[in-house]
Copies of this chain bind each other. A is one copy, B any other.
Amino acid sequence: MHPDLAFEVWSGERQRRSEDVLDRALTFPDDTSAALVDAMRYAVLGGGKRVRPLLAYAAGELAGADPAAVDGPAAAVEMVHAYSLVHDDLPCMDNDVLRRGKPTCHVAFGETMALLAGDALQAHAFAALVRGGHRDPGDACALLAQAAGAAGMAGGQAIDLAHVGVAMTLPALEQMHRMKTGALIRAAVRLGAACGRPFAPDETAALDAFALAAGLAFQVVDDVLDVEGSAATLGKTAGKDAAQNKPTYVTLLGLADAKRRAEALRNDAHAALAPFGAGARRLHEIADWIAQRSH
């Protein structure tokens, strides 16, 4: 479908599509708590790079799925991501005040409402997920739950928080990122792919290898941008890893080697897609976009 579209056009279309799907997923009956709904919508709509939805749509396209079938899973992974940012920014976690160029959710709506908005967003992620065209909704639900849970995102955050001011080896740092961001990125790819034709086990393994490399590349670039970027370009507080004394790729490797590591991971991501040929074009493009982004 539209194989000739430039990546900027393809991704812009998918980002707008995501926004519409998320808007609908976050539309509730009139008698729902307005403050809660406002906080949820504030946390999700009108911002964000939509990396995870784009990965889901690209993987779905590789599998021959109609974009409409991928809408639910794409919205689901973005809602889990958005809820994690809301809770991450809370005073008892990173205590951050700026996100996507706006005050963080608890600054805008209060701590209690931000907590509840995050909680409700996670629930509605699962509702959105099974509205999609995944071949096996039970599998999809289990996959997203594992990615979000103790062996995935939440577990990675627990490890992250335990290492504020504590030395960490590079393998330990990568394992933490595999859980904290990698698990959900892998879920985005897998859930999108599962809306189309079945993949053979070695194809699924190739997609997982792509997701692992792309996810780590995203994190290395994040660490580099935290040092080199400004709040104006990032839309979030810059320099906060150093301020919080958190281990990062830059503190462990230095800036130059961190950039080389990002490049190596980008190459790994491309190499992992070799079995798929031209069908994986959008996934290749996303790997480049992740590695070259400036915010």
Interface residues of A (CB under 8 A from B): 28-29, 31-33, 35-37, 40, 83-84, 87, 90, 92-93, 111-113, 115-116, 118-120, 122-127, 129-131, 137-139, 141-142, 144-146, 148-152, 154-155, 157-159, 161-162, 175
Pick the contact of A155: B36, B84, B141, B151 (CB < 8 A): B36
In the complex, 10 of the A-B residue pairs with CB atoms within 8 angstroms, ordered by the A residue number, are A87-B119, A113-B158, A113-B161, A116-B154, A123-B148, A123-B152, A124-B145, A126-B141, A130-B138, A138-B141
Given A141-B129, A145-B124, A151-B28: A158 and B115 within 8 A (CB)?
no
- Rounded to whole angstroms, the CA-CA distance of A288 and B119 in the bound complex is 32
B137 near A123: Cβ-Cβ < 8 Å: no
Total copies of this chain within the assembly: 2
The interface centre, meaning the residue of A123, A127, A146 with most chain B CB atoms within 10 A of its CB, is A123
Given A126-B144, A141-B127, A150-B40: A90 and B119 within 8 A (CB)?
no
- Not counting A115-B115, A116-B161, A137-B141, a sample of 5 additional A-B residue pairs whose C-beta atoms are within 8 angstroms of each other reads A31-B175, A36-B155, A84-B119, A125-B145, A126-B144
What chain B residues lie within 8 Å of A175 (beta carbons)? 31
- Rounded to whole angstroms, the CA-CA distance of A116 and B151 in the bound complex is 12
Given A92-B115, A112-B93, A142-B131: A123 and B120 within 8 A (CB)?
no
Pick the contact of A159: B33, B93, B124, B137 (CB < 8 A): B33
- Rounded to whole angstroms, the CA-CA distance of A142 and B142 in the bound complex is 13
Pick the contact of A127: B92, B93, B145 (CB < 8 A): B145
What chain B residues lie within 8 Å of A162 (beta carbons)? 33, 35
B149 near A124: Cβ-Cβ < 8 Å: yes
What chain B residues lie within 8 Å of A137 (beta carbons)? 130, 137-138, 141
B115 near A151: Cβ-Cβ < 8 Å: no
- Rounded to whole angstroms, the CA-CA distance of A47 and B286 in the bound complex is 48
- Rounded to whole angstroms, the CA-CA distance of A210 and B16 in the bound complex is 44
A149 near B130: Cβ-Cβ < 8 Å: no
Taking the closest CB of chain B, its distance from the CB of A184, in whole angstroms, is 11
B123 near A122: Cβ-Cβ < 8 Å: yes
